[in-house]
């Protein structure tokens, strides 16, 4: 409770409170979209649901990787409020079409368009927060609060979805997604967002599309972050792609059990997010993230053991423990990661650096989602083993990058490139 109150102190800032509430509402809708999309894929493809969902999520990542830098460069000097509202309205419109889907290819088209709008919204939203919360300690609390919002979404949305599924069909869950995006747009509209500062230099359009990546290449802390993104992708892909396969395909459980599985993953992440500021103060950003990588690897080892020994007539409860461990590990990496972005960016390039992180982190899922979906459709143990190997490689390479020198995460220090 005390930790929660410390985090909530930043909500006294009205502009941040509005934006945080907008984030929560959009996330609740998105969480129910995740459950509904998994059930829709199962309805359309049955045994191939994992492959369909893996492909849909891969298309989502393609939109994030290919669209985000181009759109960010195009809107870099537009009013932030207009960009955020426009992206929310496009997402709401695409979500309206999902209940009407009758063919698998239609899922792919709508997901690409919806996630292209998300690729516009999320980096713009994240890069706006430092302009509102200028104190580094407040910003760190906001990062944990944002992580907390993601985790509560992972818990509350599936629970709400499970309750709704008891009385309505899953197609009605898509309506909640639409409401969430529209509510988010309305809150952004009434929030006073600081204008973008005048740039000290003007970059050409195509240079702006790559400037954030250039900062990643020359900054050691961001190269480390990139490798931690690989670990997060490995752990998250297993949960998002294969949960429906384990719950519905192997153990033949009902729809509400799928919500419980997703909620357990969120609970593991939530417990860590509440204490992350204190962990970061004790260990520092990089050691906290490395601890998260170790936790993800432990979770994937547990998943491999479970997958090799699972019996449709046996107990599925150990799956919940494994998913909670994976949630804890990914939270230890994700929550403090924006501190590295803030330290390595300036007002001129901050939006582009946040967009680069958005794009590059999701590029890792272009590897992880196909491994989870396509290998999982062939044989689940092969998928888990491949994801475990991916996480180990990312963690070891990240540790090696850190050995090249210090890794400060203060606003005042831009880390020099590694010799």
User: What is the full DSSP assignment across 194-239?
Assistant: PPPPPPSS---HHHHHHHHHHHHHH-HHHHHHHHHHHHHHHHHHHH
- Domain-embedded: residue 409: no
Retrieve residue 235's tokens.
Answer: 């752990």
Cβ atoms within 10 Å of 137's Cβ, excluding its own: 13
Contact 161, 279 (CB under 8 A): no
What pLDDT, in 10s, does the model give residues 372-416? 888 877 888 999 999 999 999 999 999 999 887 544 444 333 333
- Domain-embedded: residue 76: yes
**What span, in angstroms and rounded, lies between the C-alpha atoms of 407 and 280?**
13
Contact 388, 304 (CB under 8 A): yes
Retrieve residue 110's tokens.
Answer: 């709508």
Distance of CA 162 to the CA centre of its chain: 22
**What span, in angstroms and rounded, lies between the C-alpha atoms of 243 and 166?**
20
- Domain-embedded: residue 329: yes
**What span, in angstroms and rounded, lies between the C-alpha atoms of 90 and 365?**
23
DSSP for 72-102 reads HHHHTTS-HHHHHHHHHHHHHHHHHHGGG--
- Domain-embedded: residue 51: yes
Q: Which of 164, 126, 158 is nearest to 142 (CA)?
A: 126
- Domain-embedded: residue 269: yes
Tell me 12's DSSP state. G
Which residue stretches of the chain have pLDDT < 50?
A: 1-5, 406-419
- Domain-embedded: residue 53: yes
Q: Which of 282, 359, 289, 367 is nearest to 126 (CA)?
A: 359
**What span, in angstroms and rounded, lies between the C-alpha atoms of 231 and 370?**
15
DSSP element (H, E) containing 284: none
Contact 299, 326 (CB under 8 A): yes
Contact 194, 132 (CB under 8 A): yes
- Domain-embedded: residue 413: no
- Domain-embedded: residue 414: no
Q: Which of 356, 348, 327, 370 is nearest to 223 (CA)?
A: 356
**CATH at residue 273:** 1.20.1250.20
Angle among Cα 78, 82, 83 to the nearest 5 degrees reads: 70
* Predicted local distance difference test score (pLDDT) of residue 275: 81
Number of domains within the chain = 1
Residues with Cβ within 8 Å of residue 406, at least 6 apart in sequence = 415
Tell me 331's DSSP state. H
Contact 373, 61 (CB under 8 A): no
Distance of CA 165 to the CA centre of its chain: 25
Q: Which domain holds residue 265?
A: 2-195+203-402
Q: Which of 181, 176, 208 is nearest to 77 (CA)?
A: 208
């Amino acid at each position: 409770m005390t930790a929660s109150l410390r985090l909530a102190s930043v909500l006294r800032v009205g502009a941040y409170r509005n934006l945080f509430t907008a984030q929560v509402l959009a996330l609740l809708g998105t969480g129910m979209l995740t459950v509904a999309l998994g059930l829709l894929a199962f309805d359309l493809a049955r045994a191939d649901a994992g492959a369909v969902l893996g492909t849909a999520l891969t298309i989502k990542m393609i939109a994030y990787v290919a669209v985000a830098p181009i759109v960010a460069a195009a809107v870099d000097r537009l009013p932030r409020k207009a960009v955020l509202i426009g992206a929310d309205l496009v997402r709401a419109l695409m979500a309206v079409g999902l209940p009407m889907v009758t063919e698998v290819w239609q899922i792919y088209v709508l997901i690409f368009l919806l996630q292209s709008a998300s690729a516009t919204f999320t980096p713009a939203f994240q890069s706006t927060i430092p302009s509102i919360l200028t104190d580094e300690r407040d910003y760190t609390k906001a990062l944990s609060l944002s992580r907390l919002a993601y985790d509560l979404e992972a818990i509350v949305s599936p629970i709400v979805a499970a309750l709704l599924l008891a009385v309505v069909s899953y197609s009605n869950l898509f309506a909640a997604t639409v409401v969430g995006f529209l509510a988010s747009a309305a809150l952004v509209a009434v929030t006073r967002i600081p204008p973008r500062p005048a740039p000290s230099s003007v970059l050409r359009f195509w240079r702006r599309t790559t400037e954030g990546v250039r900062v990643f290449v020359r900054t050691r802390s961001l190269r480390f972050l990139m490798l931690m993104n690989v670990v997060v992708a490995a752990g998250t892909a297993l949960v998002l792609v294969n949960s429906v396969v384990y719950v519905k395909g192997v153990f033949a459980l009902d729809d509400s059990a799928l919500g419980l599985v997703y909620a357990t993953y969120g609970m593991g992440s939530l417990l860590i997010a509440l204490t992350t500021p204190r962990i970061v103060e004790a260990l520092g950003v990089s050691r906290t993230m490395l601890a998260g990588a170790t936790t993800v690897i432990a979770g994937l080892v547990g998943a491999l053991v479970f997958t090799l020994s699972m019996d449709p007539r046996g107990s599925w409860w150990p799956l919940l423990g494994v998913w909670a461990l994976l949630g804890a590990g990914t939270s230890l990496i994700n929550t403090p990661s924006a501190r590295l972005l803030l330290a390595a960016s300036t007002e001129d390039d901050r939006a582009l650096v946040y967009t680069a992180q958005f794009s590059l982190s999701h590029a890792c899922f272009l590897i992880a989602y196909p491994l989870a979906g396509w290998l999982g459709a062939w044989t689940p143990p092969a998928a888990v083993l491949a994801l475990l190997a991916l996480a180990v490689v990312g963690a070891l390479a990240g540790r090696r990058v850190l050995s090249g020198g210090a890794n400060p995460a203060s606003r005042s220090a831009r880390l020099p490139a590694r010799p």
